A = this chain, B = another copy of it.
């Protein structure tokens, strides 16, 4: 009765997610096609691809960081969380594709909007994962209190939506919004950190 839902191991969920995120962040570099010429100007066409690589590296880094905090703060894992996590990884796995498309086309309208769509879907998937984790947290959970007011989580999808529309008018505005949201998120998620700190067994190494 005390364990109505089977409790699965967090370790492999973390290991698999770390693996997928590590590969996603690294294979994007394969889109940086090695130039055939040995001149400095051969790097010019690579520059927008490099810029989109920096942006996506930031985003995957942010997701890894926040994912790390969220799962560390979660007390239990079940089958729903497993699939919510795979759903998040699916959208994040498409980041290299839209990164390459946006970068190789010099931040053209359609690819820049497509990039925003993947960011939006990833944000939605992260929100679903949060809900799935909170659904089996006890009512007095510190994580529950901390995530009650999720300003950044609310605002980001709205900004992605605005950027998707802006991409068709002036793609560079969309790009600026993507960088701005990334800059805001680079600050680690103190709420989950605090939730870890609030647990009686919260001392971690």
**Copy count, this protein chain:** 4
Q: Is A109 an interface residue (CB 8 A)?
A: yes
Q: Is A131 an interface residue (CB 8 A)?
A: no
Residue of A21, A34, A186 ringed by the most chain B CB atoms within 10 A: A34
Q: Is A23 an interface residue (CB 8 A)?
A: yes
Q: Which residues of B contact A18 (CB under 8 A)?
A: 12, 15-16, 19
Give the shortest distance, in Å, between A126 (CB) and chain B (any CB).
17
Query: A1-41 vs B: 1/0 string, CB under 8 Å?
Result: 00100111111101110111111111101111011111110
Question: Main secondary structure on chain A at its contact with chain B?
Answer: helix
Q: Is A172 an interface residue (CB 8 A)?
A: no
Interface residues on A, range: 35 or more
Q: Is A116 an interface residue (CB 8 A)?
A: no
Q: How far, in whole Å, are A80 and B142 apart by their CA atoms in the complex?
A: 23
Give the shortest distance, in Å, between A58 (CB) and chain B (any CB).
9
Asked if A9 and B83 sit within 8 Å, CB to CB, the answer is no
12 example contacts (A-B, Cβ-Cβ < 8 A) are as follows: A6-B190, A9-B204, A11-B205, A12-B18, A18-B19, A26-B27, A30-B30, A34-B104, A39-B110, A54-B90, A61-B83, A79-B187
